[in-house]
Amino acid sequence: MPGRRLFSLLLLIGAALPAMARDTPPQGTQDPAAVAAQADDLLRELAASHPGTPDIMVDEPRITQQPACAQLEAFLPGGAELRPRTSVGIRCLAPQPWTVYVQANVRIMGHYFVANRTINRGEILSLDELDTREGDLLRNHRLIGDPSHIVGWVATRRIAKGSAIQGNALRDPQSIERGHIVRTVARGLGFVATGEGQALQSGGPGAQIQVRTSSGQMITGTVIDAHTVQVMM
């Protein structure tokens, strides 16, 4: 009876060995954990430029026959931006070149602002109009978590009570809106000439916009503030 049990046990071990061999990379094959760690490091580095706390989950890499690497390098294919579902490339630089791609889920959790009352177009926002919520700032990149990008800015459309404050609903108070009458300042070597015109485009400080002067001439200049466009001659 003991001999029969031993024989049965050996049969079970023999049947399990092929499956174990499939799940365990051959000796000298790249460690998948090191590949995942390289991807995680890159994603955390990129997430550091975003406000909020990163939550990153890297899928287990599929390593089949890639030899062990002494120098790994992570990159985003095509210079892509950080996204909620991101593909990360891992290339081996030495001793034998190869490249694999792993998938990752990325969240950046943080606070964003919502309107605590209805805000009408043209109103200048203050902290009194704001409440905070918490969510994934990466999934909706228009959400604003920095109050300096809200307070003192102007609503470009009606914002309902309870709605998130989004960047495309605000404009810099020093920006110029299309249709506004602006002061033009033309500067050249040894002279400065001022005039008036109508802005044909909207733009914030530093932006290039077109202006139609009072004589009907079309000129292009740089927005200085909410009332001034500078033209270099």
- Residue 137 in contact with residue 150, Cβ under 8 Å? no
Condensed to tens digits (0 to 9), the pLDDT of residues 150-205 reads: 999 999 999 999 999 998 899 988 899 899 899 999 888 888 889 999 999 999 89
What radius of gyration do the chain's Cα atoms show? 30
Domains of the chain: 32-107 (no CATH), 109-171 (3.90.1210.10), 181-232 (2.30.30.760)
Which pLDDT belongs to residue 187?
86
pLDDT band at 84 (very low <50, low <70, confident <90, very high): very high
CA 156, 159, 163, 165 dihedral sign is positive
pTM to 2 decimal places: 0.63
Which pLDDT belongs to residue 4?
53
**pLDDT higher than 50, residue 16:** no
**Burial grade of 25 (CB within 10 A; 0-12, 13-18, 19 or more):** middle
Condensed to tens digits (0 to 9), the pLDDT of residues 131-150 reads: 999 999 999 888 888 888 89
Torsions phi, psi of 115, nearest 5? -80, 130
Contacts of 47 (CB under 8 A, 6+ apart): 54, 56, 82, 106, 108, 138
Lowest mean pLDDT among 78-82, 85-89, 217-221: 78-82
Give the CA angle between residues 72, 75, 76 to the nearest 5°.
155
Average pLDDT, the chain: 87
Residue written as token pair 């964003």: 112
